C-alpha cells in the first residue's frame, strides 16, 4: 500500500511540474530561469559557460553548402 501512495504522490508532483513548465513557457517566464542558470555557470563553472557560448555561436553560424555543380568547376 505504501508503494501505491508513493507512486501516486510522485505522479501528482510530476504532473504539477509539467503543467508549471508549460504555463511558464506560454507566459514567457522561462527566460528568467535560463538567465539565472547562465549567471551561475559563468561564476562557478567557467568551462561549462564557455562551452555554452561556443555551442550557441556554432548554432548561429550557417553551414556553407554547395551543389554538385560547384565541385565540377
* Predicted local confidence at residue 67, as pLDDT: 67
* Alpha helix positions (H), 28-67: 30-44, 46-60
Q: What is the grid cell recorded at 18?
A: 509539467
The model's pLDDT over 26-64, given as tens digits with 9 standing for 90+, comes to 777 666 777 777 777 777 777 777 787 888 788 777 666
Of 71 and 20, more confident = 20
Q: Is the pLDDT of residue 23 over 80?
A: yes
The whole-angstrom separation of Cα 35 and Cα 39 is 6
pTM comes to: 0.42
Q: Which residues of 21-39 are buried (b: 16+ CB within 10 A; e: fewer)?
A: eeeeeeeeeeeeeeeeeee
* Predicted local confidence at residue 42, as pLDDT: 75
Amino acid at each position: 500500500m505504501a508503494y501505491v501512495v508513493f507512486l501516486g504522490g510522485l505522479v501528482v508532483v510530476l504532473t504539477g511540474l509539467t503543467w508549471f513548465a508549460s504555463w511558464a513557457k506560454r507566459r514567457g517566464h522561462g527566460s528568467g530561469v535560463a538567465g539565472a542558470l547562465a549567471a551561475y555557470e559563468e561564476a562557478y563553472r567557467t568551462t561549462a559557460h564557455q562551452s555554452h557560448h561556443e555551442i550557441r555561436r556554432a548554432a548561429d553560424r550557417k553551414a556553407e553548402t554547395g551543389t554538385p555543380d560547384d565541385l565540377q568547376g
